[in-house]
Structure formats: C-alpha cells, structure tokens
Amino acid sequence: MLMSLLNRVIAVFSVFVVCLIVSGCSVPQGVVAPPPFTRGDEVASFKPVQPERWRLPNGLTVLFMQDKELPLVRGRLFIRGGSLWGPAEPVGIVSAMGDLMRLGGAGNLSADALDRELEKLAAGIGSSFGAEFGGTSFSCLASDFERVFEIFSDVTRAPRFENDKLALWKGQSLEGIRRRKDDAQTVASIAFLSLVYGDTPYGRVVDDDDVRAINRQQLFKMHQEFVRPDEAILVVSGRVERDQVERLIHKHFGSWEPRGTKLPPPPAVGPPPKPGIYFVGLPFSQASIQIGELGVSRLTPDYPEIDVFNELFGSSGFGSRLMNRVRTEKGYSYGVYGGMSPGVVRGINYIFLQTKIASAVPAIEESLKVLRTLQEEPAQIGEIQEKQAAIANSFVFNFDSADEMAVRTAKLELLQYPTDYDATYLAKIQAVGPEMVQKVATERWDPSRFVMVVVGDESAYSDLEKATQDEKSMLYGRELKKLEFDRTLLIQ
C-alpha cells in the first residue's frame, strides 16, 4: 500500500532530516575509543546476550532471543537473493513476487480471508524482496503466536498469487510510477542511479511496460527460485519459550526444500558512467542535486578508514564538514549528506543536497570544496579522534534490545562479514590516522569522474551553463546535458 502523503506532512518538523542513502542493507559498526575520549566503564563492560542459534538440515539458520518485557513475538526471515539474480525482463519481477507473497493469499486462505484473519488477531505479516535480500516477517501477541506463525509459514512457503490481487498491485504500482515526477528527489535519485549504473541490474528502473508484463506464472517461478532455506536466517524474539519456537519451526519449515546450491556471484557492474552535469527541468522551487561516482565493495581492505572518512565528510549529520559548511555556515540547504556507500560489487560515492534554484551552483561548489580540502590537507588529529569517539560511544546502540541484537547478527552473517568482524574492527578503527583518511579522499574519490544530476526549475540551467564556461568555477569545462524525465529517465 502506498504511504499516504498526508501522513508525512502531518508529522511535525524536525531540526534536521534523516539521510536517505541509496544503499541496501546497512551494517552497524563499532569500535573502542581512542584516547582522549573514553567510554564509560558501564558501557564499555556491557556484554550483550548472544542469540541462541541452531540450524535445520535444509540449511535454514535460526536465531532466537527471548525477551519477556512485553507480551509480543516478532519474527523476521532474511533470505539472500533478489533482483540482482533475477531475469533481465520484466524489470521488477522479483520485487513484485516479494510484495505479492503477502498480498495474494497463502495456504488455504484466500487473500481476503488472510486479511480478515490477521485483522482479527491484530497481527502483522509482511513480505518483500530487494536487490540483494528479501524475506517475510510477522509480529503478534504472544498468545496468538502459534496461529500467526502458521500463516507466516504459508505466506513464505505457499503463496497463492491470486490474479485479482496481482491486478490490484499492478494498478497501485502504475500509480506510483505515474507520481514519480511529483517528487524532485525521486526523479534525482532515479536519474542518478540510472546514469551511474547504466543498463545493468543495479541501474535498471521499473517502467509501466514491465509492470503490465508481469504474470502469475512468473511469480510462482521466481518464488521457486528465490524463496529457499539455503541462505536464509530466521530471527525470532519476544515472550516465547525456545521449546515452542523449535517445535513450530520444525513443523512448518522442516520440510522446506533447499535449492541445493548457493547463489552464483552477483553480476558485474557496467563500465564507468560518462561524467558530466545532467539537468532535468521540472517546475520545483528547489534544485535536488545528486553527485557521485562508482564506489567500493563492502569489506574493501580500507573499510575502517572509509568509515572514519564518512563521519568526517558528510554521513554524520551536524557533525560533518559538509553540513557544517553548506548548511550551518552558508544557509544553502536543509539537508546535505555525502559519503561512500559500499555495495555488493561496487557501491557509490555520493553528495546529495537540495537548495533553492538560485544557490544551486554555489552550493555544489561549496560541497566540492569540502571534498577538495579533505584531499589536500590531512584533518587535525583531534577531529579524527572526535569521529572515532562518536563511532565507539554509539556502538552500544547496536545491542540495546534483544531483537536488535539478533537482527544485527543475521545481517552481518548474510552480508558475509567475517565472524570476527566486531572484534577486529575495534583495533582497526583505533589505528586510523589523518593520513589514512586523506588517502581515502584522494584515492577513492575523483571529482573529474563525477556524474552530477540537477533536477529543478528550468532557470537553473542557465546558471549551470554559465558556471561551466567560467574558468573560476569548479564546474568549469564540465559537459552539461539536458535530459527528459517521464516516469523513467529518457537518455537522448
């Protein structure tokens, strides 16, 4: 179901926005603090309880955390696999399958009967698939656990994909696509990812024809292919006994057939995108700007210094240099964020902001200057230590509830992080110095490769044009191109 627009605006206003990063599953990271910032004893000595773990013969891993505070039970099934491994056409078929597992009925329940039963129980069941991961989830009163778990297993293993609900989903999806142009940031984000990743599974965008082409047989086929226990982790937490959980999992997932093989490596990323400024003229009073280039893979050897770099540059909100310069000192933008978002093969290096049309050029220039300074001068040791302390002291929030703890364990495992990730990471972050951070800026970033997407009122175009012809501008000499957007980006 599309989120109501009003829902968003009725909410109150905050001093700053939460960054919407394009990457998929983000992994929390932790460190111990270097001097002079030390963590409090109470926090440093906190040893979170580890989830109980067992594995079914079919490969399904179970993580269980009991938590008796509230009479609730939650479950999340994480499955490795997604559109990256899906067919080239129709684009979006794997994600459609993910949505319709829940929406199209399951087991002996028609879609309407399923809705009705869950409403009566005041329980929630969800399903979705993204690029790299997918899965199903439930949440219910502890007293209804047995029944809800049964429905949850049907949604996971025996979806019905009823035709009338497929038609309903199609209509809603088409409306969502039709509305892309109503939101500048959506347009900017689609344009940016299309340009950076090109015609690969990383950059393809669902259009109307894809949605119309989806049929029920394909959904069953995708379900057969992707919804398997081989690389799946089921997390259960709440007020429930292990015996009961074990029994129900055995009953409902014990006979779940494995694929028998692991997923092949993810597809390659295409050639680097053509650098330049890409302008999409639409009647918005603010320019939505997305700048960047292809980035690194997860667990590249320099990941600890990349994490410190991110804090320093622009991923940490008010603490970052980008926010400090572009928002606080210049007043150009409500939100400006930048950093390196690693990907399964190659992620992105990004700078995202919105600003009024008149300040589009100076705001871009200021952002680029912040990066240039990091490339040219090593940061002061104190500033590096401040960021290390921020990472170290917030580390405890990865474990502040039983549920979070279990979910974190599952995510690290699915992202194929080494088992000693946390332990070794501590020392690695502590060893990061100013030169290492500078090296990230110089070796991992190259502004001459940047794709710069600007979405906004036509009048911004002439400002950009002038800047590309002005020797003093940081945009000097960059190619400037106008693009059309109508549901997807139309590249001439």
Q: Which of residues 17-46 bind other proteins (CB under 8 A)?
A: 37, 39-43, 46
| Closer CB to other proteins, 60 or 206, in the complex | 206
Residue among 55, 68, 247, 251 that touches other proteins (CB under 8 A) = 68
Residue among 29, 127, 189, 286 that touches other proteins (CB under 8 A) = 286
Residue among 179, 247, 262, 466 that touches other proteins (CB under 8 A) = 179
Distance between CA 52 and CA 39 in Å, rounded? Answer: 28
Please identify, among the stretches 119-127, 186-194, 214-222, 290-298, the one whose residues bind other proteins according to the rule CB under 8 A.
119-127
Distance between CA 102 and CA 283 in Å, rounded? Answer: 38
Does 142 contact other proteins by CB under 8 A? yes
Does 139 contact other proteins by CB under 8 A? yes
Residue 49 CB coordination number (10 Å): 12
Residue among 209, 241, 329, 446 that touches other proteins (CB under 8 A) = 329
Residue among 52, 146, 150, 183 that touches other proteins (CB under 8 A) = 183
| AA letter at 239 | R
Strand order across the 276-281 sheet: 336-341, 348-356, 286-294, 451-456, 276-281, 480-486, 488-490
Residues in 231-270 at the binding interface with other proteins, rule: CB under 8 A: 239
What are residue 27's phi and psi, to 5 degrees?
Answer: -110, 125
Residues in 347-366 at the binding interface with other proteins, rule: CB under 8 A: 354-356
Does 136 contact other proteins by CB under 8 A? no
Distance between CA 490 and CA 486 in Å, rounded? Answer: 7
Q: How far is the CB of 200 from other proteins (least distance, A)?
A: 30
Strands 336-341, 348-356: pairing is antiparallel
| Closer CB to other proteins, 61 or 320, in the complex | 320
Does 5 contact other proteins by CB under 8 A? yes
* Cβ pair 59, 263 in contact under 8 A: no
Does 490 contact other proteins by CB under 8 A? no
Residue among 21, 22, 141, 158 that touches other proteins (CB under 8 A) = 141
The rounded radius of gyration (Å) of the Cα atoms in the chain is 24
Does 284 contact other proteins by CB under 8 A? yes
| Closer CB to other proteins, 11 or 57, in the complex | 11
| Closer CB to other proteins, 70 or 490, in the complex | 70
**Phi-psi domain of 147 (left: phi exceeds 0; alpha: psi -120 through 50; beta: other):** alpha
Distance between CA 275 and CA 411 in Å, rounded? Answer: 34
Residue among 377, 400, 443, 458 that touches other proteins (CB under 8 A) = 400
| Closer CB to other proteins, 49 or 88, in the complex | 49
Does 146 contact other proteins by CB under 8 A? no
Residue among 54, 55, 88, 182 that touches other proteins (CB under 8 A) = 182
Q: List beta partners, residue 489.
A: 485
Distance between CA 226 and CA 440 in Å, rounded? Answer: 37
What are residue 16's phi and psi, to 5 degrees?
Answer: -150, 160
| 3-class DSSP assignment, residue 289 | strand
The tokens for 110 are: 């028609």
Residues in 98-117 at the binding interface with other proteins, rule: CB under 8 A: 112, 115-116
Q: How far is the CB of 281 from other proteins (least distance, A)?
A: 11
Q: How far is the CB of 259 from other proteins (least distance, A)?
A: 32
Q: Binding-site residue total for other proteins (CB under 8 A)?
A: 91
| Closer CB to other proteins, 80 or 327, in the complex | 327
| AA letter at 417 | Y
Does 70 contact other proteins by CB under 8 A? yes
Residue among 95, 316, 367, 488 that touches other proteins (CB under 8 A) = 316
The tokens for 271 are: 């050639």
Q: How far is the CB of 208 from other proteins (least distance, A)?
A: 11
Closest Cα partner for 483 from 440, 454, 442? 454
* Cβ pair 370, 17 in contact under 8 A: no
Distance between CA 374 and CA 127 in Å, rounded? Answer: 42
* Cβ pair 298, 347 in contact under 8 A: yes
| AA letter at 463 | D
Q: How far is the CB of 279 from other proteins (least distance, A)?
A: 17
| Closer CB to other proteins, 210 or 311, in the complex | 311
Please identify, among the stretches 13-21, 206-214, 290-298, 371-379, the one whose residues bind other proteins according to the rule CB under 8 A.
13-21
